[in-house]
Chains A and B, each alone.
Chain A
Amino acid sequence: MCSLYSTIQLYIMIFNFTNRSVSLNFSRGGKSSICKVVFHNMQPLDTLYLESTSNPTVEHFSTLIDLAVMELPGQLNYFEPNYDSERLFKSVGALVYVIDSQDEYMSAITNLAMIMEYAYKVNPSINIEVLIHKVDGLSEEFKVDAQRDIMRRTGEELLELGMDGAQVSFYLTSIFDHSIYEAFSRIVQKLIPELSFLENMLDNLTQHSKIEKAFLFDINSKIYVSTDSNPVDVQIYEICAEFVDISIDLHDLYKATANNNKIQDGKALRPRDLKNVSQLENGTILYLRQMIRGLALVAIIRPDGMDMESCLTVTDYNVDNYKKSLEEVWADSKITTSNSFITQS
């Protein structure tokens, strides 16, 4: 089973700049913290105790796509000939560069431009993403100023190197709120070739089921793989992400009893798909259903006077159909992506 699913590796590289001559302390841009918080559910405060990373680390995550996050230590020099940076850059889908916004960032920008120049030469289809990180310590207006300043300076640096057409995306992030998940969601979405299908399918679903907003979440990381084409309200995203947390936590508490029952009934041991429905006082319904491969659909439904039962019946039916079509899309994508994997390696 596993070998079938290990298709394309979409690497995300994360690294930031550090001056090699200064002590290791300066490499604390927050990359490991980001990885731990987003992909390992670590509490933001605990990341204070992380050690400095000394080796490139690669971790694999299976969601709709197979995602591998490679974290690179800040104090490495990528242009040393003994380092196989060419192979590295060729294999990645996106490069995430972390700039510490609370630190002096001039040299970090110069470094970014150099890395970009090299990366484009090796792999023109690479996505360059810049996280302006640790903005939790900055005031609101200063955030905007910092972003504008960094964007302008990066533009100038790139112009000097003769690559003014290069596409760079900037995100303001912090591990103490949901902005880091939001940024990673956008980054991962760029790497999914089927994104437009997913979005269309979600649009279809929302239009026919009184759904106000629907997200397709990766359960482990709370990154959303896709959403419908209505604009994303950060608050609604937060609520949905928390709803995923709550469902899993409650489910885990009583998992033992559920499993016992399964044995008792003589049925298969396969755990039931997670399903969670909650209604609020004003009638709004929060709806969660597990889909394929660690993904879950989370939706906010406003019944507008319709009663909950009939509204849910319609939604359940539509979601079942949606799940079926997801499985179909996935079955098809396996073939195409495994082909490209062969050519790549």
Chain B
Amino acid sequence: MSSNNRKKLLLMGRSGSGKSSMRSIVFSNYSAFDTRRLGATIDVEHSHLRFLGNMTLNLWDCGGQDVFMENYFTKQKDHIFQMVQVLIHVFDVESQEVIKDIEIFTRALKELKKYSPDAKIFVLLHKMDLVQLDKRYELFEIMMKKLQQASAEYGFPHLVGYPTSIWDESLYKAWSQIVCSLIPNIGVHQATLKKLQNTLNAVEIILFERSTFLVICSSNSTNVYTSDNSALKNINNSKNDTIEKNNNGQQLILDPKRFEKISNIMKNFKQSCSKLKCGFKILVLNDNIYVSELSSNMICFMVLKDSNVPHELILENIRKAKQYF
């Protein structure tokens, strides 16, 4: 278990596609506005991030200028592409040289095939906010079809892609699914969460990682976050997910983007808490939404069906639940 806890993630893409911005927002508490100050990344910038206590993410943010790129594929190729768990390739939707973007992607795949054939591949179509709303889906489909072809040729048939933008919550969605694909015992968490949901008679319980507020799993979706989901399957899944039947057969329509929105909202809240120079502990909204820490690296978000249950009972249940996480 110990050696496997270090995960190497490659973050690649042409220069200016927004790789460092993403990293800063998700892992360093930058606001989208702050990322303007970031300059170009020189060569490879390493960051070691502790995630869920015992997992370490080694994020290799690879600068995207052609000079560096050329270097990665020639001189440094064994250094860069060895022992890679995940490749995250970022495409700028506004890019003028799409052919060249894809070419670089395939070159990376080629090296990966050689040095770490088990790596998972994710592609992010970034800066989606610059595309008109009605065109976004179409553009995403076209691009994914092309990339799927390219990656299948190099022996990576399960390509997962996400449309992202730093200005909305799509970024959190993409990154939580990427990171969740690395968590080994996700099934255990899922089962415990399901049990907790039944005990508390909750509409929904969502588990978040504490420092990044990425979604780990939720009690309602069965396996949205398992690794080999294609993008299309994901869309179907989230559709099923929106209409949950409660006990009386009534349909509850929940926002399909709620996980990401909560991530976003709670992260904002955490930031405003930091102005008071201390961390967040618990939040109770209208007596039916409880947000509480569950362990030193997890936070749970619970929505109860009934808002008339006394506080003490719920808090006691949360306290009891803590030992399982």
Contacts and interface: CB of A to CB of B under 8 A. Distances in A.
A301 B314 CA distance: 23
Interface string A74-111: 00000000000000000000000000000000000000
A256 interface: yes
A249 B278 contact: no
Given A246-B265, A246-B268, A251 B252 contact: no
Interface residues of B, number: 39
B99 interface: no
Contacts of B311: 309
A261 B307 CA distance: 9
Chain A: interface secondary structure?
helix
Interface in A225-269: 235, 238-239, 242-243, 245-247, 249-251, 253-254, 256-258, 260-261, 264
B248 interface: yes
Contacts of A279: 281-283
A277 B314 CA distance: 15
Contacts of A278: 269, 280-284, 291
A238 B271 CA distance: 11
Interface string B282-297: 1111111101000000
Nearest to A262: B307
A206 B311 CA distance: 24
Interface stretch (B138-146, B175-183, B253-261, B317-325): B253-261
A45 B167 CA distance: 11
B269 A246 contact: yes
Contacts of A242: 268-269, 272
Contacts of A344: none
A272 interface: yes
B96 interface: no
A235 B311 CA distance: 31
B253 A250 contact: no
Contact of B305 (A235, A245, A256, A257): A257
B276 interface: yes
A274 B287 CA distance: 10
Given A246-B268, A256-B253, A261-B306, A239 B276 contact: yes
Contact of A239 (B275, B282, B303, B306): B275
B273 interface: yes
Contacts of A189: none
A280 B248 contact: no
B52 interface: no
Contacts, number: 99
Given A258-B307, A284-B278, A249 B261 contact: yes
B127 to A, nearest CB: 15
B155 to A, nearest CB: 41
A311 to B, nearest CB: 13
B279 interface: yes
A276 interface: yes
B250 interface: yes
Given A250-B262, A254-B289, A235 B250 contact: no
Interface string A269-313: 000101111111110100000000000000000000000010000
A302 to B, nearest CB: 10
A239 to B, nearest CB: 5
B109 interface: no
A224 to B, nearest CB: 16
Given A243-B272, A250-B289, A254-B254, A281 B280 contact: yes
Contacts of B289: 250-251, 254
Given A242-B272, A246-B268, A257-B252, A274 B286 contact: yes
Given A238-B272, A258-B307, A281 B279 contact: yes
A253 B275 contact: no
B203 interface: yes
Contacts of B281: 278-281
Nearest to B306: A261
Given A250-B262, A275-B285, 14 more contacts: A45-B33, A239-B272, A239-B275, A246-B265, A246-B266, A246-B268, A250-B285, A250-B289, A254-B203, A264-B250, A276-B286, A279-B281, A279-B283, A309-B312
29 contacts: A239-B272, A242-B272, A245-B268, A246-B268, A249-B265, A250-B262, A250-B285, A251-B285, A251-B289, A253-B255, A253-B261, A253-B262, A254-B289, A256-B253, A257-B254, A257-B303, A258-B288, A260-B250, A261-B306, A264-B248, A264-B250, A274-B286, A275-B286, A276-B284, A278-B269, A278-B281, A278-B284, A279-B283, A281-B278
Interface of A: 45, 235, 238-239, 242-243, 245-247, 249-251, 253-254, 256-258, 260-261, 264, 272, 274-282, 284, 309
